[in-house]
Structure 1
Amino acid sequence: QPATRATGWDTPYPHAQEWEYFPGPARVGRALIETLQA
């Protein structure tokens, strides 16, 4: 299974939505759980 991406994408993003672009605690936690269960 490929690695889980929990970080932002490598494409430009609108600065008005900057905090939606970056991963929050829930997104990082979900990626961690999915990785450990794989």
Structure 2
Amino acid sequence: MRYHLIVQVSLAQLKNQCKAQKGSAVSSISKRKPLLSGE
């Protein structure tokens, strides 16, 4: 039972990491857009 809980927690952490990486990538792209448009 403990092993199952550990697996669930690690999967949740991996999902959160993926979301965080996508979010940081999107924010970095949106920060670059003004530079590309020349504002």
Is TM > 0.5 for Structure 1 vs Structure 2? no
Tell me the TM-score normalized by structure 2.
0.38
Q: TM-score, normalised by structure 1?
A: 0.39
Which of the pair is proportionally richer in helix?
2
**Higher relative contact order (CA closer than 8 Å, sequence separation 6+):** 1
Higher Cα Rg, which structure: 2
